[in-house]
Structure formats: structure tokens, C-alpha cells
Amino acid sequence: MNGASLPTEAIFLLFLAAWAGFLFFSFSRNAALKRRWFALYVAALGLVLGGVATFAAARSRTMESLIVVFPALALWGFLTVRQIRFCDACGASVHRLGALRDPPKSCPKCGAPLERTGGPPK
């Protein structure tokens, strides 16, 4: 294995891990487990995307672009964790449309009340 192919292989493995996480959060019915790990998953995905951006910027010698990339990733992570809720009754992942709208209070599939993601309910 030569050194030049290592970043591509690592990126591929991280891409597969990200997809495995996406599939888990999309299809699992265990809301408590999803609620427990979702914020960590989003943070890890943000670190991976930041690492890929840093690697790409270093290769193209445009490190100034990271001044925009890292705050954008932080905002993306914050809004993603804030906008997704998990239904305890049916296990659905409930997304709200729009960053400025209030989070949904009940599940659109079963009507059960929704708890806050990433911590104890309010």
C-alpha cells in the first residue's frame, strides 16, 4: 500500500461508516438509542467532513476556504441536532422543515408527543 492511496481508502471507510449511521437513524425503531447517539453521530460526521475539507484545502493550497467551512459545519451540526426528534411510540425520525420553525410537538405518523433530542425532555 503506498502513502498516496491511504487518504482515499480512509475517506471511503469513513463514507461507509457515515452511511451505516444514516441507515441506523433512518430505519431503527429504538428511539431512546437514536436519541442517545444522534448528537454524537452528527458531531463525528462534522469532524469527518471538516477533515475531508482540510485535506482538500491543503492539497489545493487554499486553506483560507476553511474560514467559511468550519463555521458552516458548526451551524449545520447545531441545526441538524435541533431539528430532528424521535418518536418513542413508533420510532420514527421526525424532521421539521426550515431552521427557524419550531420543532414538531407530536409525531406525524402516530400522533404521540415528541421528546427533545440529545438530552432529557423539557
| Range with top average pLDDT, 8-17, 32-41, 95-104, 106-115 | 32-41
The Cα 84–Cα 73 span in angstroms is: 17
- Residue 110 inside a domain? The answer is no
Report the Cα 50 to chain-centroid distance in Å: 13
Total domains present in the chain: 1
Q: What SS3 state is found at 106? A: strand
Give the confidence band of 117 by pLDDT, cuts at 50, 70, 90: low
| pLDDT tens, position by position, 56-87 | 888 878 888 888 999 999 999 998 888 888 88
Q: What is the pLDDT of residue 120?
A: 43
Q: How confident is the model over 84-112, as a mean pLDDT?
A: 82
- Residue 113 inside a domain? The answer is no
C-alpha torsion sign, points 34, 37, 39, 41: negative
**Considering the chain, what is the average pLDDT of its residues?**
82
Report the Cα 44 to chain-centroid distance in Å: 8
pTM: 0.77
For Cα atoms 68, 70, 23, give the angle at the middle one, nearest 5 degrees: 125
Among 12-16, 30-34, 99-103, the range scoring the smallest mean pLDDT is: 99-103
Q: What is the pLDDT of residue 104?
A: 76
- Residue 38 inside a domain? The answer is yes
The Cα 21–Cα 23 span in angstroms is: 5
Give the confidence band of 54 by pLDDT, cuts at 50, 70, 90: confident
Domain of 69? 3-95
- Residue 88 inside a domain? The answer is yes
